[in-house]
Structure 1
Amino acid sequence: MAQDDSYRRGRHVVSALHVHLVFVTKYRHGVLDTAMLDRCRQIMSEVCDDFGATLAEFNGEDDHVHLLVHYPPKISVSALVNSIKGVSARRLRTEFTERVNQHSMRGHFWSPSYFAGSVDGAPLSLVHQYIERQRHPA
């Protein structure tokens, strides 16, 4: 029997957990540009790796980002989200100080809310296409 690479295999579990995440900047300020989105992708990918998860897809616009994350069953989505948002906000604020300080964000980068949707019901290819087709800021 052929082995399907879309499944995560552990010692006692076989899983295929994907979550579509959307993070919005505080007050929906259009602060993200191409350089910030590229750095954001790197940071978020590193955080996912630390959790044993995989950032399968990433894209965004000037005021929000979309992520498709393949994650193991041992971690909770809320713990992953809190870490991704916290680490990315801290690093983006220090690396892009001028750009972030142009907007009055009152010490916050991301809005405290987020969207998390299970993508088990939708074909992953459709979610990939949706995220890829986001307008990318200039």
Structure 2
Amino acid sequence: MADTFSQVHLHFVFTPKFRASLIHTSWEADLHKYITGITRKNTHKMLAINGTEDHVHMLIGFQTTQSIAAFMQDVKADSSQWINNNRFCKTRFEWQAGYGVFSYSKSSVDSVIQYILNQKEHHRKMSFLDEYKLMLEKFGVDYKEEYIFKAPE
């Protein structure tokens, strides 16, 4: 029987709808655990997850049996339902429709993990929008300013 072998490391970045600062420190760690459970349920491996009140980063050892879009749909749908069922927010919680996903080689995994684990310190020096634009430029992703995550109004 033939097997499929792969080594895919994907860095995901996503935000609450309208980039609202809704992820409170009192339940952030539980959210990360919950998303890790969703990741495992989908047979992927969580390598790092962290963020701030307005966005989440995660590095996944990604299995090729599921599409990236289907995985993110599961993560967002299941975690927003969990947030709403636990009434962590005063209003209905939703994730923004889009997300960023970037691939890394195995040799970069340790530095990406450190980068993700250092998010709170990192964002004392750089805004999320500046960080995101740098990521898009680093990976040569063409983007239109009106379609990237917006600063809260």
State the partner residue of 1:120: 105
Scaled by the length of structure 1, the TM-score of the pair is 0.79
Query: Is the Cα–Cα contact under 8 Å of residues 36 and 92 in structure 1 kept in the other structure?
Result: no
Scaled by the length of structure 2, the TM-score of the pair is 0.72
Paired amino acid for 1:17: V
Structure ranking higher in helix proportion: 2
RMSD: 2.0
> What runs of 5+ residues in structure 1 fail to find an aligned partner?
1-10
State the partner residue of 1:38: 29
State the partner residue of 1:129: 114
* Structure 1: distance between partners of 2:111 and 2:37: 25
Within 5 Å, which residues of 2 pair with 1:1-138?
12-95=3-86, 97=87, 99-101=88-90, 107-120=92-105, 123-135=108-120
Paired amino acid for 2:51: G
Structure ranking higher in strand proportion: 1
Count of aligned pairs between the two proteins: 121
The SS at the match of 2:14 is strand
Query: Is the Cα–Cα contact under 8 Å of residues 83 and 93 in structure 2 kept in the other structure?
Result: no
Q: Percent identity?
A: 22
Query: Is the Cα–Cα contact under 8 Å of residues 9 and 106 in structure 2 kept in the other structure?
Result: no
Q: Which runs of 4+ in 1 moved over 3 A?
A: none
